[in-house]
Structure formats: structure tokens, C-alpha cells
């Protein structure tokens, strides 16, 4: 913030020098990230990188070794960023002219905007200098761990740099800071008190963007389904659950060893049963899942508005949710699992928190109870939410505390603890024949059962602590909170509601590194590229909204002074806008949706041409369906399996031993047809000669005529060998 009146001409040269330094510093960071091949490979595919470099005045080429060479001058990047800064200053002088005093000349208005822009870019310069210093230290550090970490986090660092720069050049758009500059650092209490608190158009913008996001999300999911790219296990099996329930086959998929409650206490998708009876389709469940994620903007908006009193802050933070790339992986995971019931539980968690903030305990309790139906690990979050509400009451004077609310929050905590213990130790094992929950094995050598995990933690706390306090855990923290502008860290007590869940996720050992992420210095974590982090996201945005609070932080409790309230709203709006820019900029490199660069790449396997464009494979499958009677029992390979859930029975054809076949290889004896996909990238069978049934049991099976050009192999059990 510039102290004093900007009309003092002697201050302008200093301001301009500072502004040039800030632009030069952040330009240096961007230039280094774009010209270092190891850094750019972390940002986006090479074809997208070539386009970005071209926009900045550079060129790319391929050396004789096949490596990409980037030719981009620092001065070219600096000139373009300087031009962008100047254009932004001029536009703001014109667009915000009504915010200046009438007596101020046009030149004085422009100089004031320049001063505000320089002030806003100071954080950018500090960030850039710090990152460049760390890069220098990492380059000479012998172990290479710091350098590896910086390379791995380049997408996040790049996004933060963009967000700081954009938020800085828009600093003069803030009414309160503009009035301070023009009045020599003194805000006008009278004008601040007249500052509008609520603007309905901002909520309308949020709803419109949510609808657009939902439509785009559903289109992507529909395309994946139509092109046979959705795996049955962990995606379409949930639709099979609904089909089997209302057709009298039980709450199960034929992948399961029994009823699905032997896998998870995950029954929230049964609430969709009436809709499924009207529209019996997997796409109905996808539509609702996308809508559930989009509708979360409503509680986020209301929560932020109640905390800050600023509709602008509420709008920016709500829009940040739609571009928050860890949320996008709940919709379409890195392995293209497109449907998880955790999506259905998200709005219930959000609304439960927002209603509890307003002390509406009955509907809040209903929402949190419904969220528990999502999965048993959601109880770790609901219990922590109850505990945090209980602890927060002690911040207020004894006269302001609510005994009824304390009892409610205590009840939420205790009920959640009992729920998760019963689910993990009693209910799920009872439906698994006494076996422990299957996800105990996710923790690798720490143990394969709850008892072993507890013993390891007690007997070898150093080993457990060593796994937790690691670069991977730090990466988790950055990935989950940095796209929210690090706002959640301003309210550590609220953020601690996710501590237990976060510790559990940090100890997971999946050992996964899918194609498309080669070169990462740190193993690709399950957070946030899968779905495990889902219950953490409402806590993160709860903490972010709480960080924007004006007054004592209670919903609806704002300062009485008009100037104080207006100033608080202005600061909250600027912070929320920064969170939005962080979310948008990190989505450029982290999201697989159209807001991410990867979506538009022709090289990436996640690009729209490879995933969402119509293919012959999807068209040819229609020829297979006409040969399969609805009453048949069909075994099929994955991805095809997704489209065959409405038959009498739908079995899995793979090397995985299933309970429906007494854990023996092959297919169940009552199988009528076998459908084998030969053209998916994960297909293990590519010709009839590789089909076990045709080699070992030719007397039992006949191959139907091929009408698909070899893309699918269809076998039918011969007459006389029926079940």
C-alpha cells in the first residue's frame, strides 16, 4: 500500500522502478519454468507447451536426439508482461473512473492506478525472489531432494505466480484501497458505509457458472460412457446395484463377494432408486453426481456471505470451487473411474457445516447423518466437525455460549466415533465372513488389518512418523490448500477438522504412477488424483470461508462500524479473488477438464481427441448388443462390462477369481455368452487364438460371426451344454 498522496511527483520514479522490478522478477520465474525442459514437462504436454512458448514470442524444435529444445528470450517474456500490466492499468483507469473524486484529473487517476498496481505486485516480487533463491540453492545442493521437490511442484508454483500477478494488477479495482490512495491513506467512513453489501447478480453469476460446469461435466462423462472407456469396477457397478435391488437380486454387483455392505457402508446411492426406476441408466447417476458437485456452490456462497458480509467474496470463493482441480478428480479420476458415491455426499457435508454455523442443528444433523451413508470414512470428518464446533464455542464469553449447541456438537462427535468403529470392526467383517476390511491393505508394510496398523503405530512410532513427515505429505498439503490461495491456513482450528483423514491418506501406499505423469520426482499420490480426499474438501472450503470472516467470525456477526465493515468486506473480496485466481491458474496445469491445458492436447492420452471424440469402437459395439438376449447371463471384459449390467446376470471375464465362480478361473457354469473386447488399451486378448474357452473347451463354446472387424469377440454356449 502506498503511504501518502501519489500526486507527489518525486515518488513516481521510485514507484515505477519498483513496478518494473516486480514484473521482471515474476517474468524471470515464468521464463525459467518455460525454458527448462524438466520444468515444462511437469506443466503440460509438449504440443501445448509449444503453443504457449509461441504466444510469448519463442519457438520450439526437436533435436537430433528427439529432445525438445525451447528458444525463448527473457526479454520477450518481460516485454509482454509489462505490456499486460500497462493495458490493465489503462483499462482500470477507464472502467473505475466513477470511483475517483470528480476533481481528480485523468492523469492523476492513471498515476493512482499505477501506484496501486505497484503495491499489489509487491507480493508477486517477494514470491518470485524467494522461488528463484530456492532454485539457486537447490541447483547447488548435493542430495538433489530440494531440486526434485521444486520440479515436482512446478505446476503449483506456476499457478501461484499467475494468481499473484493477476490479483496484483487488479488491485486498483478495490474501492476501499482506491479511496485510500486518493485521500492520502485515509478512508472515507461515509463512503464506506454506503458501500453495497449484497448484490443478487453475483449469486446469479455463481448459479449460471455452476449450471455450465454441470453440463460440461455430464458431457464428458457421457462421451466416456458412449466410447466404452468407463471401467465397470468402482464405476458402473453402482448402477448395477440399483438395477439388482429393484429386480430382486439384492444390493450387490456380481463382482462382489456378497452384499455390497461387505465392502463399504456405502448406501447413499440407494436414494437414487426412484429416479433409476424412471430413467434406468448409468447416465442418470452421472448426471446427478455432476449436479451434486456443482450445487456445492450454494452452501459455499451462503457460508462465505455469512462470514464476510461480502457478496463479492462469496462469488469469488464459490467460483474457485468450480475450478478447484482436486474436486475435478472426484468427477473423473486419473484412471477414468467416473462415478463415486462420494460425490453424492459432498453437498450434505457442505450444507451440514453451513447450517451448523447458523445454529440450525436439526437440519444440520440430518445433513451430516445423510453424509455418513456415503462411506464409513466420512464419519472421521463428521466427528471432527462436531469436535471443532464444540471447541470453538469456548472462544466466546460464557454468556454467549449455547449449551444446546455444545450438546449437539458433542453428540455429532460421539455418534460418528461409534459409527466408524461399528462399521470397520463389526458390520463390514460380518458381511465378509469375518475378514477385515479390504482397504487395510492400502497401507503397505504398516499392516494389513486395523489391529496390525495400531500395533505398528504403538511399537514403531518412528517409522510411522517418518512416513508422515515427508516430502510426499508436504506435496499433499500444497496440492489441497494452495489452489484455495492458502486461505484455509488462516483458520488452523477449522482446518484441523480434516487432520485425522489427512494423516490416514498420507500413510496410504498404492505405488501408482500412471502414464502421462512420467518424470515426476515424487511418486504420484492418491491425493488428489483419485477419490480418497473427497471428505476433506468441505473442510478446506469451510476453513477458507472462515478466513474471510469479518468481526468475531460467527456467521452473521459483523462489525457495527460502517467503515470497519466495508473495509473488512473489501479485504475479504480481494482475498477470495486471489483464491479464485489460484484455483483457475492451477487448473490450467492440474485439471483434465476443458479449463486445463491437457484437455486440448493432441499428444496426451487425456486429450479430448483421445477420450471424447466419436470412435469406431463405440459404434461397432452396437452390433454386439443385438446378438445378446435380455434374459441371458453374460460374462464380459471390463469396459464392455459397463454396458451389460441390465441382463439377467452380468459376470466379469478376467483373471481375477470371483466368489460367483467359487474362486476358480473361467466363467460361472450358467454363463450363456462371453463378450471380449480386443481393442481397448488394457485388453489382454487380441485374437480368437488367445481365448481360453476356444482353446480348452471348443466343444462347449462357439464363436459368433464377427461383424466388428475384430474389435469384439462374442462366444455363445453350444446347445446341449446349458447350465
pLDDT at 543: 97
- Whole-number percent of the chain with pLDDT over 90: 56
Dihedral, CA atoms, 430, 431, 436, 441, nearest 10 degrees? Answer: -170
Give the residues across from 673 on adjacent strands.
634, 716
DSSP assigned state of 112: H
Report the C-alpha gap between 153 and 522 in whole angstroms: 10
pLDDT at 186: 42
Q: What is the pLDDT of residues 635-673, one digit of tens each?
A: 999 999 999 999 999 999 988 888 888 888 889 999 999
Q: What is the pLDDT of residues 410-446, one digit of tens each?
A: 999 999 999 999 999 999 898 888 788 877 777 777 8
Least confidently predicted of 36-45, 447-456, 495-504, 672-681: 447-456
Could you give the maximum distance between any two Cα atoms of the chain, in Å? 101
pLDDT at 522: 39
pLDDT band at residue 184 using 50, 70 and 90 as cut-offs? very low
Report the C-alpha gap between 532 and 534 in whole angstroms: 6
Mean pLDDT of the chain: 86
Does 263 or 305 have the greater pLDDT score?
A: 305
Judged against a pLDDT cut of 50, whether residue 521 lies above it is answered with no
Judged against a pLDDT cut of 50, whether residue 703 lies above it is answered with yes
Report the C-alpha gap between 300 and 321 in whole angstroms: 8
Segments in 626-719 forming alpha helices (H): 692-696
DSSP assigned state of 91: H
pLDDT at 716: 95
Least confidently predicted of 110-119, 514-523, 535-544: 514-523
Report the C-alpha gap between 464 and 445 in whole angstroms: 10
CA distances from 622 to 144, 226, 609, 640 (A): 54, 10, 21, 11
Q: Residue 250 — φ and ψ, nearest 5°? A: 95, 165
Least confidently predicted of 88-102, 298-312, 357-371, 578-592: 88-102
Q: How many CA atoms lie within 13 A of 616 on its CB side?
A: 7
Locate 358 and state its grid cell. Answer: 447458523
Q: What is the pLDDT of residues 14-65, one digit of tens each?
A: 888 888 899 999 999 999 999 998 898 899 998 888 999 999 999 888 776 6
The angle that helices 175-182 and 106-120 make with each other, rounded to 10 degrees, is: 120
Does 5 or 308 have the greater pLDDT score?
A: 308
pLDDT at 663: 86
Least confidently predicted of 313-327, 426-440, 683-697: 426-440
Q: Residue 626 — φ and ψ, nearest 5°? A: -70, -15
pLDDT at 721: 53
Judged against a pLDDT cut of 80, whether residue 450 lies above it is answered with no
Judged against a pLDDT cut of 50, whether residue 517 lies above it is answered with no
pLDDT at 441: 76
Report the C-alpha gap between 376 and 371 in whole angstroms: 9
Judged against a pLDDT cut of 80, whether residue 1 lies above it is answered with no
SS (H, E, C) 637-650: CCCCHHHCCCCCEE
Report the C-alpha gap between 673 and 596 in whole angstroms: 41
Q: What is the mean pLDDT of residues 157-184?
A: 70
- Find all residues with CB under 8 Å of 472, minimum gap 6, and list them: 506, 522, 523, 525
Q: What is the pLDDT of residues 185-199, one digit of tens each?
A: 444 444 444 444 557
Q: Residue 675 — φ and ψ, nearest 5°? A: -120, 120
Dihedral, CA atoms, 249, 290, 333, 590, nearest 10 degrees? Answer: 180
Tell me the DSSP string of 598-626. GGG-SSSTTSHHHHTS--HHHHHHHHHHT
Locate 145 and state its grid cell. Answer: 531432494
Q: To which H or E segment does residue 717 belong?
A: strand 712-717
- Whole-number percent of the chain with pLDDT over 70: 86
Amino acid at each position: 500500500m502506498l503511504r501518502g498522496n501519489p500526486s507527489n511527483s518525486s515518488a513516481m520514479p521510485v514507484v515505477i522502478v519498483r513496478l518494473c522490478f516486480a514484473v521482471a522478477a515474476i517474468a524471470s520465474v515464468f521464463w525459467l519454468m518455460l525454458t527448462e525442459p524438466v520444468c515444462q514437462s511437469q506443466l503440460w504436454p509438449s504440443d501445448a507447451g509449444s503453443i504457449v512458448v509461441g504466444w510469448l514470442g519463442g519457438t520450439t524444435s526437436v533435436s537430433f536426439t528427439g529432445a525438445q529444445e525451447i528458444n525463448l528470450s527473457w526479454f520477450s517474456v518481460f516485454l509482454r508482461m509489462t505490456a499486460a500490466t500497462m493495458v490493465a492499468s489503462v483499462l482500470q483507469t477507464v472502467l473505475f473512473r466513477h470511483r475517483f473524486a470528480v476533481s481528480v484529473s485523468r492523469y492523476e487517476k492513471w498515476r493512482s492506478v499505477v501506484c496501486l498496481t505497484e503495491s499489489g505486485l509487491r507480493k508477486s516480487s517477494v514470491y518470485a525472489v524467494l522461488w528463484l533463491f530456492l532454485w539457486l540453492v537447490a541447483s547447488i545442493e548435493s542430495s538433489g531432494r530440494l531440486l526434485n521437490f521444486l520440479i515436482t511442484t512446478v505446476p503449483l508454483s506456476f499457478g501461484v505466480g499467475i494468481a499473484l500477478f493477476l490479483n496484483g494488477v487488479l488491485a486498483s479495482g478495490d474501492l476501499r484501497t482506491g479511496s485510500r490512495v486518493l485521500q492520502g491513506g485515509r478512508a472515507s467512513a461515509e463512503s464506506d458505509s454506503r458501500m453495497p453489501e449484497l448484490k443478487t447478480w453475483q449469486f446469479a453469476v455463481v448459479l449460471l457458472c455452476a449450471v455450465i460446469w454441470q453440463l460440461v461435466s455430464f458431457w464428458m462423462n457421457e462421451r466416456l460412457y458412449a466410447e466404452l472407456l468407463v471401467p465397470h469396477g468402482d464405476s458402473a457397478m453402482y448402477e448395477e446395484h440399483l438395477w439388482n435391488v429393484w429386480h430382486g437380486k439384492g444390493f450387490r454387483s456380481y463382482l462382489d463377494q456378497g452384499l455390497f455392505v461387505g465392502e463399504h457402508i456405502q448406501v447413499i446411492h440407494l436414494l437414487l432408486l426412484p429416479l433409476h426406476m424412471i430413467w434406468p441408466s448409468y447416465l442418470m447417476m452421472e448426471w446427478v453426481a455432476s449436479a451434486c458437485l456443482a450445487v456445492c456452490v450454494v452452501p459455499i456462497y451462503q457460508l462465505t456471505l455469512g462470514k464476510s458480509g461480502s457478496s463479492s467474496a462469496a462469488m469469488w470463493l464459490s467460483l474457485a470451487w468450480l475450478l478447484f482441480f482436486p474436486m475435478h478428480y472426484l468427477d473423473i479420476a486419473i484412471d477414468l473411474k467416473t462415478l463415486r458415491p462420494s460425490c453424492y455426499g459432498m453437498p450434505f457435508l457442505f450444507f451440514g457445516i453451513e447450517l451448523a454455523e447458523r445454529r440450525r442443528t436439526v437440519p444440520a444433523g440430518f445433513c451430516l447423518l445423510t453424509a455418513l451413508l456415503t462411506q464409513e470414512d466420512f464419519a472421521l470428518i463428521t466427528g471432527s466437525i462436531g469436535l471443532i464446533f464444540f471447541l470453538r464455542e469456548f472462544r466466546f464469553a460464557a454468556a454467549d455460549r449455547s449449551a444446546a449447541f455444545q450438546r449437539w456438537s458433542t453428540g455429532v462427535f460421539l455418534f460418528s466415533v461409534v459409527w466408524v468403529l461399528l462399521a470397520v470392526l463389526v458390520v463390514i467383517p460380518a458381511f465378509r465372513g469375518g475378514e477385515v476390511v479390504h482397504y487395510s491393505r492400502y497401507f503397505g508394510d504398516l499392516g494389513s488389518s486395523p489391529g496390525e496398523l495400531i500395533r505398528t503405530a504403538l511399537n514403531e512410532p518412528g517409522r510411522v512418523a517418518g512416513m508422515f513427515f515427508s516430502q510426499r505429505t508436504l506435496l499433499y498439503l500444497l496440492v489441497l490448500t494452495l489452489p484455495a490461495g492458502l486461505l484455509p491456513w488462516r483458520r488452523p482450528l477449522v482446518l484441523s477438522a480434516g487432520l485425522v483423514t489427512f494423516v490416514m491418506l498420507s500413510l496410504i501406499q498404492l505405488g501408482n504412477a500412471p502414464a502421462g505423469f512420467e518424470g515426476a520426482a515424487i511418486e504420484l499420490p492418491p491425493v488428489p488424483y483419485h477419490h480418497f480426499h473427497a471428505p476433506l474438501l468441505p473442510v478446506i472450503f469451510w476453513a477458507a470461508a472462515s478466513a474471510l470472516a469479518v468481526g468475531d467470525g460467527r456467521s452473521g456477526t459483523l462489525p457495527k462500524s460502517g467503515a470497519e465493515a466495508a473495509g473488512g468486506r473489501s479485504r475479504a473480496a480481494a482475498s477470495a479473488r486471489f483464491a479464485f485466481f489460484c484455483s483457475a491458474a492451477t487448473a490450467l496445469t492440474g485439471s483434465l477438464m476443458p479449463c486445463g491445458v491437457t484437455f486440448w492436447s493432441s499428444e496426451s492420452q487425456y486429450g479430448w481427441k483421445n477420450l471424447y471424440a466419436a470412435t469406431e469402437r463405440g459404434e461397432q459395439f452396437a452390433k454386439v448388443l443385438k446378438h445378446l438376449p435380455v434374459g441371458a447371463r453374460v460374462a464380459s471384459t471390463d469396459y464392455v462390462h459397463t454396458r451389460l449390467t441390465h441382463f439377467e446376470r452380468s459376470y466379469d471375464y478376467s483373471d481375477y477369481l470371483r466368489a460367483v465362480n467359487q474362486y476358480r478361473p473361467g466363467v460361472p457354469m450358467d454363463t450363456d455368452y462371453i463378450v471380449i473386447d480386443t481393442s481397448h488399451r488394457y485388453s489382454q486378448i487380441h485374437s480368437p487364438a488367445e481365448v481360453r474357452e476356444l482353446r480348452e473347451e471348443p466343444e462347449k463354446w462357439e464363436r459368433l460371426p464377427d461383424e466388428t472387424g475384430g474389435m469384439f469377440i462374442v462366444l455363445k454356449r453350444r446347445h446341449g451344454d446349458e447350465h
